[in-house]
Structure 1
Amino acid sequence: MNIRSIGPALALSLCLACNNATENQTTAAAETTVDGGQSTVQDDESAKDIAKIAVGSKDHSTLVAALKAADYVNVISNAGPFTVFAPVNAAFDKLPKGTLDDLLKPENKDKLRSILEYHVYVGVLKDALMSDGLTYGMASGDNATIGNKDGKLTVNGVNIIATIPASNGIIYVTDGVLLPPAK
């Protein structure tokens, strides 16, 4: 084999090797891509966002099921900031029999979304901003009224029983479900 034939053969070999490396990198990247949004990000170091806190709470499994049915888990995982009034499981039990099951049906997704949006304020409402009688516009477009009597907070008369800070806002745990005003 002479020197002239080695050059092209070497160039061809290098091209094929580079092409295979690129294909392997592309395949590896495709295999590690995860479908989903912000809620699928694995991060055990940072403070948890609202969705991760709710998913990790045994008292909020019904709320998480509703968020999943409405395709809203990723929404409340985003940067926010959000204030979420999060009903505990027992709060959903107070609804008329069959209401929750009906809301979780795919054909009622818009109605479920409207109810969930009524539990979210875009921004952070710290306790200092929760004065008696103040009204805030919720993500649904409807207003909710804060009650503050002797330091006991309510929203539309529903008791706020705990406050949990999150990386993307704040959660006020409630003992009732907020229902938007009838239109």
Structure 2
Amino acid sequence: MKKISIVLIAAITSIFATSCTSESERPASNTTTNTSEPAQTGQSGVQDDISQKNVVQVAVGSKDHSTLVAAVQQAELVDALSNAGPFTVFAPINAAFDKLPAGTVDDLMKDENKEKLADILQYHVFVGVLKEDMIQDGQSLGQVNGGNITISKSGSDILINKTAKVLATVPASNGIVYVIDGVLLPQ
């Protein structure tokens, strides 16, 4: 019986000594941390491949919106448009930017014109979701930049400011995207 008690005390002492070992004395774990990639901040840094895409992700996923995506990045509006919204975004296709006078896009993409670019892009955004069945002829919407757009509706055709035609509608997790064939310019 004495032998069992001594063995039991030795075992308990050994377990107690192991559990009291300091962090610096314990062996390192086999996990590694990748520190070579910078941490992303803001809503745009959230990775979610399961949920419906937000308005920015819809544009990024479209080969016809690469100019718009570059402009949104240059104007530093990616995080704002990745937030919960809701937003109605009128998204010009690349060909719409090509219709602008030569050099306009290049000029707007310069750092010194970032504020002007942001103003133009914000003129393409309405806070709220305006679904197609809610659109009425002559409807006016207050845009994020403080300006107003006017919607014209004739049959199934929808025009914005009588210059940009709606080509398609794409629902997003934080709103709706209207693909348009013209760039909307604030007055």
Percent identity of paired positions between Structure 1 and Structure 2:
54
What is the 5 A alignment of 1:89-104? 89-104=94-109
Question: How many Å separate the matches in 2 of 1:32 and 1:58?
Answer: 26
Structure number having the greater helix percentage: 1
Shift of 1:31: 7.3
Matched, 1:180 2:186: yes
What is the 5 A alignment of 1:16-55? 16-17=23-24, 28=33, 34-55=39-60
The match for 2:126 among 115, 121, 125 is 121
Alpha carbon RMSD of aligned pairs, Å? 2.8
Residues 69 and 18 of structure 1: is their aligned pair in 2 closer, same or farther, counting only changes over 3 Å?
A: farther
Task: Tell me what 2:141 maps to.
Answer: 136
Task: Tell me what 2:81 maps to.
Answer: 76
Unaligned runs of 5+ in 1: 1-5
Give SS of 1:71's match: coil
Unaligned runs of 5+ in 2: 1-12
The code of the aligned residue for 1:140 comes to N
The code of the aligned residue for 1:155 comes to I
The code of the aligned residue for 1:173 comes to V
The match for 2:172 among 166, 174, 179 is 166
Residues 15 and 58 of structure 1: is their aligned pair in 2 closer, same or farther, counting only changes over 3 Å?
A: same
Give SS of 1:144's match: strand
Give SS of 2:150's match: strand
The code of the aligned residue for 1:100 comes to V
Give the alignment's TM-score, normalised by structure 2.
Answer: 0.82
Matched, 1:111 2:116: yes
Task: Tell me what 2:6 maps to.
Answer: none
Shift of 1:88: 0.2
Q: Which has the larger radius of gyration?
A: 2
Residues 20 and 71 of structure 1: is their aligned pair in 2 closer, same or farther, counting only changes over 3 Å?
A: farther
Give the alignment's TM-score, normalised by structure 1.
Answer: 0.84
